[in-house]
Amino acid sequence: MLTYLDSLCDSLATRDLPRIRHLVVDHPLARLLPAEAMAEARRFLADKAGPHAVPLANLRFRDQTARLLSEHPHVEATPATMAPATMPALTVGQPAVGAPSAAEGSPQTLRVERPHRRRRRVAAAQTELPLSA
């Protein structure tokens, strides 16, 4: 899909009418274009766009599609959704959160060990170099 949108945006920007006609009329992915992007492509195809017109609707749709394809949903793991191998280890020793204390007559108490989180690397500040004259 991104290859198709890249080709369409390139051909619209260069006003390559045979290529635009192929991508808008004959190509099977043309049916997936939003109405605004299709109308813009047809306007370029009919040569009704000004000489300095930019295919913004198509560029916006291409950018939106690229962002959606590259996004990964961030799901925080909870005990109900964790696989057994990734669940926190239970060890005998100190009481778990919400567990009765040893003073209340608990024969053994459990402690939940949480996996260590990786610290994010802080990006170094970019240094600007003076331009030589």
Domain ranges of the chain: 2-70
- As a whole number, mean pLDDT of residues 98-113 equals 55
Looking at residue 47, what is its pLDDT?
A: 85
84 falls in which pLDDT band (50, 70, 90)? low
Q: At what angle do helices 56-70 and 2-14 cross, to 10 degrees?
A: 160
First to last CA, the chain: 46
pLDDT for residue 121: 64
pTM of the model: 0.52
Pick from 49-53, 66-70, 106-110 the range whose average pLDDT is largest: 66-70
The mean predicted confidence, pLDDT, of the chain is 76
The pLDDT value recorded for residue 50 is 84
Q: What is the mean pLDDT of residues 50-67?
A: 91
Amino acid found at 101: S
What's the average model confidence in pLDDT over 70-76?
A: 63
CB within 8 A of 113, min separation 6: which ones? 88, 89, 90, 91
For residues 82-110, give the mean pLDDT: 54
What is the residue-wise DSSP string for 3-57?
A: HHHHHHHHHHHHT-HHHHHIIIII-GGGGGS-HHHHHHHHHHHTT-S-TT---HH
The residue-averaged pLDDT of 33-51 equals: 91
Predicted confidence at residue 112, as pLDDT, reads 59
